[in-house]
Amino acid sequence: MSEQKQDLSSYPPFFFQQSESVRTVEPKDSIPPISDEPDPLPCIDLQHLNPEEIGKACRNWGMFRLVNHGIPIELGTQLQEQLMKVFSLPFEDKQAGLQSPITYFWGTAALTPSGVALREKVQKVNRIEGIYARLHLLPQMTTDDPMFISFRNLLEEYGKHMAELIRCLFEALRKNLGIDPALSKPYLSEYHGLFRLYRYFPCSESSKEEGISAHTDSTVLSIVNQDQVGGLQVFKDDRWIEIRPIPNTLVVNIGDMFQAMSNDEYKSAEHRVLNKQEARISICYFVHPEDDVVIQSTKYKPFTYKDFRAQVQEDIKTIGTKVGLQRFKPT
C-alpha cells in the first residue's frame, strides 16, 4: 500500500529539521539478506494446525507465516486503505484528531505514549510515525469526523478477529510447552491487547535507513499484517533474512514474555524494518501478560510484565536501546 504522491505536510517536521538523527544501516549491519531462494519462513496453516510444526518454528525461528487465518481479506484491505488515508492527513490534524484512547506518535516505537516527549534524547530516531490503540478502549473514542469514525469501526472489527486468533495460537503453544491452563488468562491478558499501526517513511535509497532498528518484541505474541512494499527482516544464522510480503498471510512473532515462559525453548525473534523508496504500512497487534502476574521461569529471576516494561523504558531513556531479558538473568 503506497502513496501515489508524497505530501510533505503529512510528515513530522522533525525529520526535515534534524536529518542527522536518522538511523542509517551501519556497515556491520549490512550483511546481505537471503534473496535467491523461496520464502524461507516456516508456514503454518491455522486450519490444519500441526503441533510439531508450530513448535519447531518457534524454537528455530521465533517467527512464522500464518495462512488460512480466518481474517476476512476485504476487512484487512479496507483497514490498510483507511489507515493510509489517516496517515496522509496533515501532521497537525493527526496530532489534534488522534488523542486518547488512540494516540499518535512518531520517531521511536519502543517508547510508550507517555514517553514520546523524550524521543529527542534517544540515540537514534527511527523514520516512522504510528498510532497506538488499546483494543478494549476503542469504544471510548469520541469523534465527529467521518474518517476517524470509519477508522475506529474498522479497527474494532479487525481487533476482535485478532483477539480470537491470538487466543487460538497461544492455546496450541501452551499445550506444546505443558504450561498450566490456569495461567492462560493472566499470561495472555486481553486488557493488554493493543495495536501499533505504522507508516514507514520513504527514503531515496532503498534499504539504507532503518524504519525500526533491530529489536525483539516485549510481548507474549505479536501478529503483523504488512502491505506489499516489504522491508521486514529477521536475524537468523548470523544474517538478516528478508520476510517478503505475501498477500493474505500474517507474520507471527514470539515475544520476550513467551521466551521466558518457555524457559528459552521458544525464541523471541530479533527483527527490524528497512525503509524503502515507497511508504510502507504495517498493522501490528500485540498481547502482553497482566501487569502484576509473576512470570515463573527456570532461566530468569521472577518478574512481572510491569517490571519488564519499566526496565525497558528506563534503558531506552538512559542508554538509548532496549536490553530486555538479559536484565532479568540470575546474578
Catalytic residue list: 280
Nearest to 29 by CA among 207, 216, 229: 207
Nearest to 67 by CA among 48, 39, 84: 48
Cell of 127: 523514520
**Would you say 199 and 281 are in contact if contact means Cβ atoms under 8 Å apart?**
yes
Q: Which residues contact 5 (CB under 8 A, 6 or more apart)?
A: none
Cell of 109: 516505537
* In the block, residue with C-alpha cell 505530501: 7
Amino acid at 196: R
Q: How far is CA 53 from CA 36, 42, 60, 237, in A?
A: 24, 8, 11, 20
**Would you say 262 and 177 are in contact if contact means Cβ atoms under 8 Å apart?**
yes
Q: Are strands 210-215 and 271-274 parallel, antiparallel or unpaired?
A: antiparallel
Alpha carbons 219 and 291: distance in angstroms, whole number: 12
Quick check: helix, strand or coil at residue 205? coil
Is the dihedral angle over the CA atoms 18, 208, 31, 119 positive or is it negative? positive
**Would you say 291 and 306 are in contact if contact means Cβ atoms under 8 Å apart?**
yes
Alpha carbons 54 and 171: distance in angstroms, whole number: 12
Q: Which residues contact 17 (CB under 8 A, 6 or more apart)?
A: none
**Would you say 167 and 188 are in contact if contact means Cβ atoms under 8 Å apart?**
yes
Give the number of other CB atoms < 10 A from CB of residue 181: 10
